[in-house]
């Protein structure tokens, strides 16, 4: 039996243009945040939104879209580089 490859929180750029499932969109913020080792408050501040709004993403009450989803995708693929860049802003 072979071990399946671990799933990423989002699709890799090579799969750009494919639809992200509803489940992945709901789980995405928390997966990325935990990968970065940040609290909800720190993640919200880092990406420039309220903690309440970010909490709603993680709870599945709201879904990130547009630029926010792209930013989360970048944080998932290149966490250290993007985190360092955001902190320098």
Q: What CATH number corresponds to the domain at position 28?
A: 1.10.260.40
With respect to residue 9, please indicate whether it lies within any of the assigned structural domains.
no
With respect to residue 4, please indicate whether it lies within any of the assigned structural domains.
no
With respect to residue 84, please indicate whether it lies within any of the assigned structural domains.
yes
Q: Tens digit of pLDDT for each residue in 17-48?
A: 444 445 444 448 999 999 999 999 999 999 99
User: What whole-number distance in Å separates Cα of residue 68 and Cα of residue 48?
Assistant: 10
With respect to residue 16, please indicate whether it lies within any of the assigned structural domains.
no
Q: Tens digit of pLDDT for each residue in 50-61?
A: 999 999 999 989
With respect to residue 10, please indicate whether it lies within any of the assigned structural domains.
no
What is the residue range of 37's domain? 21-88
Q: Are 29 and 68 in contact (CB under 8 A)?
A: no
CB atoms inside a 10 Å sphere around CB 88? 6
User: For residue 17, what is the enclosing H or E element?
Assistant: none
With respect to residue 38, please indicate whether it lies within any of the assigned structural domains.
yes
Give the rounded percent of residues in the chain with a pLDDT score beyond 70. Answer: 70
* Whole-model pTM over 0.95: no
- With a CB cutoff of 8 Å and minimum separation 6, the contacts of 71 are 47, 82
What total of structural domains would you count in the chain?
Answer: 1
């Amino acid at each position: 039996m072979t071990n399946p490859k671990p799933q990423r929180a989002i699709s890799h750029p090579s799969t750009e243009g494919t639809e992200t499932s509803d489940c992945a969109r709901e789980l995405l913020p928390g997966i990325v945040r935990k990968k970065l080792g940040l609290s909800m408050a720190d993640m919200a501040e880092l990406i420039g939104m309220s903690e309440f709004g970010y909490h709603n993403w993680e709870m599945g009450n709201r879904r990130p879209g547009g630029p926010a989803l792209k930013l989360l995708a970048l944080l998932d693929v290149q966490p250290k580089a993007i985190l360092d860049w955001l902190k320098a802003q």
